Amino acid sequence: MKKHVPIISLFALFLLLGACKSDFNYFYYSKEETELLSQYLNLPEIPDDYTVTFPAHLSNVGLFPRAVERDKAVLGRVIFYDKKLSKDGTVSCASCHKQALAFSDNKVFSEGVYDRSTTRNSFALGSVANFSAYYGTDLNGFNAIRFFWDNRAETAADQSRGSMTNAQEMDMSMQEIAAMVESQPYYAPLFNKAFGSPVVTEDLVLEAISNFVNAMGSFQSEFDAEANQSDPTPDGNFGNTVYHSNFSGFTSAENRGKYLYNANCSSCHSGNMGRPVLQLANNGLESNPIDLGVGGITGVNSEKGAFKVPTLRNIALTAPYMHDGRFANLEEVLEFYNSGIQNHPYLHVPNRIQVCHTFL
Ligand code: HEC
Ligand code: HEC
C-alpha cells in the first residue's frame, strides 16, 4: 500500500499543475484576448516578473531599483521589439540594442530607417546595474544620472521620445507612433491590462516603454556574488564602495585586474559597478573635440568634450567602444588609457596626472 502513495500524489500533482496552466491562460487575458494575442505575439504564458532585487552589496549602499508595473513593462517590451513603429517599418529599439550583446550593437554606428546611420555608438543598456535605481530625474531627483552620451534626456520617457522621433533612428512623430499602436490589434488587450482601457495616447506609450527600460540592467555577475561576501571600503561618494581585498573566487589575474581597476578607473566608473561616481567627464579622447558631448547641449565651456561616464558591466560583449565606437576591442581601450590620453584644458584630473601609467 505504502508504495502506491507517492504515485497517487504525483498523479494528483500532475492534475493540479495541468489545471493551473489552463486556468492561468484563461484568466490572465480573457480567452478572446489570449487567442488574439497568440496570432501575433509569442508572449510567455506567465508574464515575466519585472521586479528587480539588487544584490546585497548594492542595496547596502542605498541603491534601490524602483517598483515597476508589470503589465506596463510587458506592453513596453512589445513596443521595444515592434518594427512597425518606425517610418519604413524596418527598425525597432531592439535593432540597435540587441539582447545577445548586452543590449548594444556591434557596429560603430547603428543603422536606422532608410539605412541612415546614427551619429554615435549605441549605448549598451546592459552596462547599467539598473536604470530605475539611479537614472531619471523623475525617479531619482536632481542628482539622477541622465540618459544619452551627452546626458540630454532627463527621464526614460524623454529618452524614448528622443529615439522614436530621431531622424537617424525611427523617424516618427509621437502622433504617428500612437496612431500605429492603435491600428495594431494586439495592442488593445495589452493596453487594457496595463491601463484599464484600450485607448492609446502618446503619454501612455511612453509610460509603458519607460517601465520596461527602467526594469533593465545587469546585477547578477560573478563580481556581484564575490562583492556580496567581501568587506567594502566606502569611497566617500553616495552609493559607491571599493573592494580592496582579493576576491576568493577570482583567479589571480582577475584580482590583479581588479587592483588596477581600483587604482586607475574606479574613481570615475565606480568600484562596485553601481552608480557611476561622476555623471560626466572628459577622459582625454581628443584635444580638440568636434563632438562636444555634454557641453554641446549645455553650452558650458568645461563640459565641451565631456561625455557620460558609463558603467562597465558586460563590457566584453559591447564592442566597439566609446561614444563614437573608435576602439574595436578592450586592448585598444587599455592602450588608450595607458599611452593615448590627449591633453585638454578640461581633462579630468585623474587622467591629467596620468595615473593610468601605474598600469605597467
Ligand atoms: C537606430 C539605432 C537605435 C534605435 C532604433 C534606438 N536606439 Fe537607443 N540608442 C542608440 C544610440 C546610438 C544611443 C546613444 C545616442 C546618444 O547618446 O546620443 C542610444 C541610447 C539609448 C539609451 C541611453 C542609455 C544611457 O545610459 O544613457 C537608451 C535607454 C536607449 N537608447 C533606449 C532605446 C529605446 C527604448 C529605443 C526605442 C524606443 C531605442 N533606444 C531605439 C541607438 C538606437
Ligand atoms: C576621468 C574619468 C575616467 C577614468 C579615470 C576612466 N574612465 Fe573610462 N570612460 C570615461 C568616460 C567619460 C567615458 C566615455 C567617453 C566617451 O565615449 O567619450 C569612458 C569610457 C570607457 C569605456 C568605453 C565604454 C563603452 O561602453 O563604450 C571603457 C571600456 C572604459 N572607459 C574603461 C576604463 C578603464 C579600464 C579605465 C582605467 C584604466 C578607465 N576607463 C578610466 C571616464 C573615465
pLDDT in tens, 309-358: 999 999 999 999 999 999 999 999 999 999 999 999 899 876 554 444 33
- pLDDT for position 301: 95
Q: Give the C-alpha separation, 243 to 237, whole Å.
A: 14
| Grid coordinates given for 16 | 493540479
Whether the CB-CB separation of 151 and 308 falls below 8 Å is answered with yes
Residue nearest to atom 33 of ligand 2 (CA): 265
Question: Pseudo-torsion of CA 73, 78, 84, 90, nearest 10°?
Answer: 110
Q: Residue 4: pLDDT above 80?
A: no
| Grid coordinates given for 160 | 524614448
Q: Residue 27: pLDDT above 80?
A: no
- For ligand 1, the distance from its centroid to the CA atom of residue 154, given in whole angstroms, is 14
Closest ligand relative to 277 C-alpha: 2
End-to-end CA distance of the chain: 73
Residue 299 buriedness (CB in 10 A; 0-12 / 13-18 / 19+)? exposed
Q: Give the C-alpha separation, 132 to 344, whole Å.
A: 33
The dihedral sign for the CA sequence 223, 229, 233, 239: positive
Q: Residue 24: pLDDT above 60?
A: no
Closest ligand relative to 278 C-alpha: 2
Closest ligand relative to 115 C-alpha: 1
Question: Which protein residues touch ligand 2 with a CB less than 6 Å away?
Answer: 124, 127, 264-265, 267-269, 281, 283, 285, 307, 309-310, 312, 315, 318, 321-323, 333-334, 337, 348, 350-351, 356
- For ligand 1, the distance from its centroid to the CA atom of residue 14, given in whole angstroms, is 45
Question: Which protein residues touch ligand 1 with a CB less than 6 Å away?
Answer: 80, 91, 93, 95-97, 110, 112, 118, 120, 122-123, 125, 128, 147-150, 159-160, 163-164, 169-170, 209, 213, 308
Residue nearest to atom 21 of ligand 1 (CA): 123
* pLDDT tens digits for range 75-115: 999 999 999 999 999 999 999 999 999 999 999 999 999 99
Q: Which residue has the higher pLDDT, 238 or 38?
A: 38
